[in-house]
């Protein structure tokens, strides 16, 4: 018995009213025939997509104006659970009146959000999020058919979490910048891994090329490699310009701890690194003065020059220190 068939218990509490209503009373279910499309002066597009993970499938019909590329009518047929019906119906509705290029930008998150009763409460249980992903994929299939291209051409980046549409580059950057170490932290920052959980590690309902646990392991190896390149004086055997942002921050922190902080603490002050940004050939290090340093007259002259000169000597001559 499928999860959508469990009438007893509390499973229905996890579905929004919009979803349960659309399960039983979809507004866009049906088909568009060649004759109907011709009467509208439109080109008929029929696209099929099936989810191997659950056996559900959806067929999407578009009547597209050949000059404006606007989707004049959108209907669907769904072969699967009630959640797939509700997701497909919402997807078909969202396509109406949009150009094909605009429709491709509709994501599974847009579909799920449109099915919510209120913005803060998910419309479906996490394990059913894949149904809205299927709705997103069939849009790509229809658009690809209309344009005569491969549907994969619409994906500019590798998607690790299909449910939340989180890319590999986004996950790598967020993990590095925030030094994330757990799956829970990744979910808090990006929503990746918060739904069907197939992207967390092998063994879920859908096999992946890369998992969140792989990215955490990669980050830990990167940190260890960065630490191994730093000597006790803070000098690095790796060129500062070739470091990752995480390695640069750690290298600067190491130099500050070894050569700068004690000087500031002796006068009742301190400093913290806020950010490091590349600016042409320069590396701009943004700092905040703490304690007595924040109100010291030399914080923008003598103290600043001393900090900048030490970092230039130890790390890179193109470093500039900018207090904010």
Cα gap 47→142, rounded to integer Å: 5
Strands 57-64 and 43-50: antiparallel
- For residue 296, how many other CB atoms are within 10 A of its CB? 17
CA distances from 111 to 56, 128, 176, 192, 239 (A): 17, 13, 30, 17, 46
Strand order in the sheet with 282-291: 269-279, 282-291, 319-323
Indicate which residue of 54, 163, 199, 293 is catalytic: 54
Active-site annotation holds for 131:
yes
pLDDT value at residue 184: 92
Please spell the DSSP secondary structure of 93-111, one letter per residue.
Answer: HHHTTSBHHHHHT--HHHH
Q: Do domains 3-152 and 240-323 have the same CATH topology?
A: no
User: What pLDDT does residue 105 have?
Assistant: 87
C-alpha span between 143 and 91 (Å, rounded): 14
Helical axes 82-95 vs 17-24, angle rounded to 10°: 100
Enumerate the domain spans of the chain: 3-152, 161-225, 240-323
Q: What is the CATH code of the structural domain delimited by 3-152?
A: 3.90.1010.10
Task: Of 197, 105, 198, 194, give the one whose Cα is nearest residue 155.
Answer: 105
CATH architecture of 240-323: 2-Layer Sandwich (3.30)
Helix, strand, coil percent values for the chain (each to nearest 5): 45, 20, 35
CB < 8 Å & 24+ apart, contacts of 191-194: 191/161, 191/163, 191/164, 191/166, 192/160, 192/161, 192/164, 192/166, 193/161, 194/126, 194/163, 194/164
Per-residue pLDDT of the chain (324 residues; tens, 9 = 90+): 344 444 444 556 789 999 999 999 999 999 999 999 999 999 999 999 886 556 678 999 999 999 999 999 999 998 888 888 999 999 999 999 999 999 998 887 789 889 999 988 888 887 677 777 788 889 999 999 999 998 877 766 688 888 777 888 778 877 887 788 999 988 887 778 887 888 999 987 778 889 999 999 998 888 777 665 554 444 445 788 888 888 888 889 889 988 898 888 888 888 999 889 999 999 999 999 988 888 787 888 888 998 999 999 999 999 999 998
Q: What is the structure's pLDDT at 12?
A: 62
- The CB density around residue 279, as the number of other CB atoms within 10 Å, is 10
Establish whether 163 is a catalytic residue. no
Q: For 30-63, give the DSSP string.
A: S---HHHHHHTT-EEEEEEEE-TTT--EEEEEEE
Q: How far apart are the first and last CA of the chain?
A: 61
pLDDT computed for residue 63 by the predictor: 98
Q: Find the catalytic residue in 81, 95, 131, 161.
A: 131
Q: What pLDDT, on a 0 to 100 scale, did the predictor assign at position 133?
A: 78
Q: Which residue from 80, 92, 93, 94 is spatially nearest to 23, judged by alpha carbons? A: 80
Instruction: Specify the residue for token string 């070894």.
Output: 258
Q: Please, is 34 exposed, middle or buried when counting C-beta atoms within 10 Å of its C-beta (0-12, 13-18, 19+)? A: exposed
Backbone angles phi, psi at 214, to 5 degrees: -65, -40
Cα-based angle 85, 124, 54 (whole degrees, multiple of 5): 55
How far apart CA 274 and CA 181 sit, in angstroms, is 21
pLDDT computed for residue 51 by the predictor: 65
Confidence (pLDDT) at 208: 86
């Amino acid at each position: 018995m499928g999860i959508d068939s469990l009438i007893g218990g509390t499973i229905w509490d996890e579905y929004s009213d919009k979803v349960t209503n659309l399960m039983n009373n979809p507004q866009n279910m049906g088909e568009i025939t060649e004759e109907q499309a011709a009467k509208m002066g439109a080109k008929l597009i029929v696209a099929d997509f099936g989810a191997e993970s659950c056996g559900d499938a959806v067929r999407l019909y578009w009547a597209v104006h050949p000059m404006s590329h606007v989707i004049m009518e959108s209907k669907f047929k769904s072969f699967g659970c009630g959640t797939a019906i509700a997701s497909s119906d919402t997807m078909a509705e969202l396509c109406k009146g949009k150009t094909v290029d605009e429709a491709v930008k509709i994501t599974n998150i847009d579909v799920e959000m449109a099915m919510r009763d209120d913005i803060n409460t998910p419309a479906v249980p996490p394990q059913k999020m894949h149904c809205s992903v299927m709705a997103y994929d069939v849009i790509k299939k229809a658009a690809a058919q209309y344009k005569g291209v491969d549907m994969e051409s619409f994906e500019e980046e590798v998607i690790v979490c299909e449910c939340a549409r989180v890319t590999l580059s986004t996950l790598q950057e967020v993990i590095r910048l925030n030094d994330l170490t757990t799956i829970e932290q990744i979910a808090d920052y990006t929503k990746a891994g918060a739904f069907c959980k197939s992207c967390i590690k092998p063994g879920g309902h859908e096999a992946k090329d890369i998992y969140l646990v792989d990215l955490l392991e990669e980050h830990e190896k990167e940190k260890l490699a960065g630490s191994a390149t730093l000597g006790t004086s803070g000098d690095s055997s790796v060129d500062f310009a070739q470091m990752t942002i995480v390695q640069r921050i750690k290298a600067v922190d190491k130099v500050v701890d070894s050569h700068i902080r004690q000087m500031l603490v002796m006068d009742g002050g301190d400093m913290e690194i806020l950010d490091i940004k590349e600016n042409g050939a320069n590396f701009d290090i943004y700092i905040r003065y703490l304690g007595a340093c924040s109100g010291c007259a030399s914080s923008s002259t003598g103290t600043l020059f001393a900090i900048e000169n030490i970092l230039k000597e130890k790390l890179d001559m193109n470093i500039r220190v900018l207090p904010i």
